[in-house]
Structures are given as C-alpha cells and as structure tokens.
C-alpha cells in the first residue's frame, strides 16, 4: 500500500487540495501545508490526559443549583439525570446522560484507541479506525448540549427568591473536557494511521554489489 507521503504528495487541510511535498503553501488557498502535522501525537496525548483528569471533577462537582423560595440543592450530572427520571422526563434524562457522560467518555476512549493504533497499526482495522475518527469529529459538537441548556436556563430563570438556576463549578470542568477533546481530535493527524501500516521502504543495493552478486 502506497501513501501520498511516499509519492511526494501532501494535502492542504483547509481546502483539501493535493499538492507536491516541496510546496510550503497551498497553490489554491495559500494556507500553510505540511506532509504531517508537527508533534501531532504529543499534543493529542497531552490534551487527552488533561481532559481525562478534568472528567473526574466534571462528574463529581455540582453542575447547577436549582433554588425555589431560597432553598435548593446542587446537582451533579448524574443526580440531575436521576432527578429528571423521577419527574417522568425519561427522554430528556437519556439525552442528558448520553450527551454529558457517554459522548465525552466515548471520545476519550476512542482517541486513545487511535493513538495506540498509530504505534502498532493493523491493516485489517485501518478502515474501522478512520471511521472511528470521523465519528468522533462529527459527534464532538453535540457534547456541548448540556452546557447550552444550563446557560439558557441560567439566563431565563432568574426570579430572585421565587426561583433561580445557577451554574456550578462542575459546568466549568465539563466545558473544559468538551473543548479539550475537540482540540485533541483536531490536533490528531489521521494520515498517521496510514503511515503505521505502510511497509518500510526496501533498501536498494549499490549497482556494484548487485553485479557482484549476479556474477557469483
């Protein structure tokens, strides 16, 4: 299997123009191009580890506090899901659970799988890994659904002692997890997956050595 890197080609990540590897700027849009993103693996690991650390307080700290008549208890993501189910709001509870817990966890595990695949690629799984990367990129935007909902509720529900909704420290940690996982997906270069399964180039013997071998 031959890649564009071996053929001396590179792709512009802005307009997807394929150009020669000697060029430093895209001939179509003028953006800076490179054969591979520099330090892609190191940056992706750093962003993922930071996101994984913040994922713990994002689920343990209260994400919002609903107060009625001056009284209210802070809720974490999971306690909020349980509270929604107690009020027979099962579809909304499942939506919040999926967007706030399953999606970030899936992105973290999925990116780790891709990074490990770069170290030891398997040709039989390359298409699955590419599909996984595309799915992570597509699903990343939906992780902010919970934060959008909280920001709208905080802006709308502000009636003093009658009823208020305040965002908690868990919202900050959760927003950081979402942003970091999105940046990790952006910094990861999927072309490295193809490099991992590409066979090493065969070393060519000097002409003199070949002729000597043939004479023998």
Total-model pTM: 0.73
Q: What is the pLDDT of residue 72?
A: 66
Q: Which of 62 and 160 is assigned the larger pLDDT?
A: 62
Q: What is the pLDDT of residue 162?
A: 55
Q: Which of 124 and 97 is assigned the larger pLDDT?
A: 97
Tell me what the mean pLDDT of segment 180-204 comes to: 75
* Same-domain pairing of 80 and 185: yes
* Same-domain pairing of 43 and 23: no
* Same-domain pairing of 59 and 17: no
Q: What is the pLDDT of residue 205?
A: 42
What is the per-residue pLDDT across 129-174, written as a single tens digit (0 to 9) for each?
889 988 988 887 676 766 676 666 666 655 555 556 676 788 888 8
* Same-domain pairing of 131 and 168: yes
What is the Cα–Cα distance from 27 to 147, expressed in whole angstroms?
A: 40
What is the per-residue pLDDT across 24-61, written as a single tens digit (0 to 9) for each?
788 888 877 777 777 889 999 999 999 999 999 988 98
3-state helix, strand, coil in the chain (%, to 5): 60, 10, 30
Could you tell me which residues come within 8 angstroms of residue 115 by beta carbon, excluding any fewer than 6 positions away?
41, 44, 45, 48, 188
Q: What is the pLDDT of residue 47?
A: 95
**What residue numbers bound the domain in which 175 lies?**
39-198
Q: Is residue 212 part of a domain?
A: no
Q: What is the pLDDT of residue 212?
A: 45
Average pLDDT, the chain: 77
207 pLDDT exceeds 80? Answer: no
* Same-domain pairing of 95 and 5: no
Q: Is residue 207 part of a domain?
A: no
Q: Which two tokens stand for residue 66?
A: 């609903």
* Same-domain pairing of 29 and 45: no
Total count of domains within the chain? 2
CA neighbor of 14 nearest in space, from 33, 35, 38? 33
Q: What are phi and psi of 92, to 5 degrees?
A: -65, -40
What is the per-residue pLDDT across 68-122, written as a single tens digit (0 to 9) for each?
666 667 778 888 788 778 877 788 778 778 888 888 899 999 999 999 988 877 7
* Same-domain pairing of 104 and 12: no
Kindly report the CATH number assigned to the domain that includes residue 187.
1.20.140
Q: Is residue 98 part of a domain?
A: yes
């Amino acid at each position: 299997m031959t890649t564009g890197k071996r053929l001396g080609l590179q792709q512009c990540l802005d307009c997807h123009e394929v150009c020669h590897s000697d060029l430093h700027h895209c001939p179509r849009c003028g953006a800076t191009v490179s054969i591979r993103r520099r330090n892609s693996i190191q940056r992706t690991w750093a962003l993922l580890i930071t996101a994984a650390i913040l994922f713990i307080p994002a689920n343990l700290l209260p994400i919002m506090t609903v107060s009625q008549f001056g009284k209210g208890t802070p809720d974490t993501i999971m306690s909020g899901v349980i509270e929604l189910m107690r009020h027979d709001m099962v579809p909304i509870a499942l939506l919040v659970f999926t967007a706030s817990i399953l999606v970030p966890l899936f992105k973290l595990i999925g990116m780790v799988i891709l990074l490990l695949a770069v170290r030891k690629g398997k040709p039989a799984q390359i298409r699955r890994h590419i599909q996984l990367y595309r799915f992570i990129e597509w699903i990343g935007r939906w992780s902010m659904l919970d934060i959008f909902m909280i920001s709208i509720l905080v802006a709308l529900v502000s009636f003093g002692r009658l009823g208020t909704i305040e965002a908690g420290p868990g919202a900050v940690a959760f927003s950081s997890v979402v942003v970091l996982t999105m940046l990790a997906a952006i910094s990861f270069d999927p072309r490295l997956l193809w490099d991992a399964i590409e066979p090493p180039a065969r070393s060519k013997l000097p002409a003199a050595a070949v002729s000597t071998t043939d004479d023998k």
